[in-house]
Amino acid sequence: MFRIYSNHSSVHLPAGRQVRKLESLLYMKKFSQEFNTLNFVIKESTNILLFAHSRPDSDTVGSVLALREYIKNLGKNVDIACLDPYPEYLKDLAPDYFNFPDHLNLEKYNLIIATDSVERGFQKIKDKFTENQVVALLDHHPDITIQGDINIIEASYSSVCEIIYNFFEFNKIKLTRQISTFLLLGILGDTGMFQHSNTTPRIMEIASALMKNGAPLSKIISVAFSNKNISTLKLWGRAFEKAKINPENGMIVSFISEKELEECGGSLEDISQVSTILNTVPGTKFALVLSERGDGIVKGSLRSEEYKGVDVSQIAALFGGGGHKLASGFEIEGKIVETENGWQII
């Protein structure tokens, strides 16, 4: 059994016209050993399991779908596992290939690849795999504590779909229209449709290449990010109506109860963009949206922007969560109650 770990040091690039060329070379060389090994194991495996994180978003979905398309084209058997159902709003882009882990025979897989936020669900089943099964982790979140046999983890990437694009590019794998569509879906989601600070020149180059391969930018945006039904708008209206600003720390906060989610006919996916929208309110430094998720769990979603000077991952860490500097979250046990001074979790 082989185990590969990486500890990449930072590279200081010289100023001038050579920077872009050097950056491109660095993207190709980074994780070159891991990219080579992962592709070798994929080709040597008969049965492969892809794992998407709980409450799947566009990046984890795009990641597993892109890898599934590549692996299927190699003639391999491949399944996708997730602890939660496939997002309804993405079914116009791709069918539902998701399976609950307990519906699968986990012992049959030679290779298991977990993508994006691997500590949101994968840690619950990781110990069920044996040393004869290779586990690969692909993630762009900081402070990942679990380890696999192949670890491709780097917080400087915008998304796991960006990592997978580099994996395909390094191994000279031709991207089909479907693969390109799935990769662009994930990149659009985690860059906020190119609005977040993680939108680099490299990302724009990748997006351009994916569109040249046939990825339908306007359709992805319409299906995944812009096409909102009445239930979504009703739920957003509830959240926006209750939003409050704390002038002392610049926080704008709101909450969505489990009852409101049911009354509006909304879904968990409808909640995800509320914090991003609230974060655009002038005069605020960061946004917090609390939502009840059932089983006595309250989720907090935090968003900020580079120019606001707030590291929301530090706030999330106070509650046992984590994430990126500008986009983080946490989950705690309890329920939300409204008081004269605001909302409390008890």
> Residue 329 — very low, low, confident or very high, per pLDDT cuts 50/70/90?
confident
Q: What is the pLDDT of residues 40-67, one digit of tens each?
A: 999 999 999 999 998 899 999 999 999 9
Q: Treating both helix axes as pointing N-terminal to C-terminal, what angle do 160-170 and 201-212 enclose, rounded to 10 degrees?
A: 70
Tell me the pairing of strands 342-345 and 336-339. Answer: antiparallel
Residues 76 and 206 in one domain: yes
pLDDT at 209 over 60: yes
Look at residue 2 and tell me if it is in a domain.
no
The residue among 199, 225, 251 that closes a domain is: 225
Which two tokens mark 48? 């492969």
Residues 44 and 114 in one domain: yes
Amino acid at site 262? E
The residue among 197, 225, 253 that closes a domain is: 225
* Residue 8: per-residue pLDDT: 43
Least confident range of 40-44, 135-139, 142-146, 278-282: 142-146
Mean pLDDT confidence for 277-292: 92
Residues 187 and 330 in one domain: no
Residues 59 and 149 in one domain: yes
Residues 86 and 180 in one domain: yes
> Residue 27 — very low, low, confident or very high, per pLDDT cuts 50/70/90?
low
Look at residue 5 and tell me if it is in a domain.
no
| Residue 335 domain boundaries | 230-345
| Cβ 304 vs Cβ 312: under 8 Å | yes
Residues 206 and 302 in one domain: no
The residue among 196, 225, 254 that closes a domain is: 225
> Residue 269 — very low, low, confident or very high, per pLDDT cuts 50/70/90?
low
Residues 219 and 245 in one domain: no
Q: How many domains does the chain have?
A: 2
Closest CA to 42 of 60, 11, 67, 17: 67
Which two tokens mark 165? 């694009």
Look at residue 10 and tell me if it is in a domain.
no
* Residue 75: per-residue pLDDT: 97
Q: Where are the beta strands (DSSP E) in 183-326?
A: 244-246, 251-256, 286-292, 297-303, 322-323
Look at residue 149 and tell me if it is in a domain.
yes
Look at residue 34 and tell me if it is in a domain.
yes
Look at residue 134 and tell me if it is in a domain.
yes
225 against 5, higher pLDDT: 225
| Cβ 116 vs Cβ 164: under 8 Å | no
pLDDT at 77 over 90: yes
Maximum C-alpha span of the chain: 62
CATH of the domain at 192: 3.90.1640.10
Q: How far is CA 259 from CA 48, 188, 274, 292, 293, in A?
A: 40, 31, 17, 9, 10
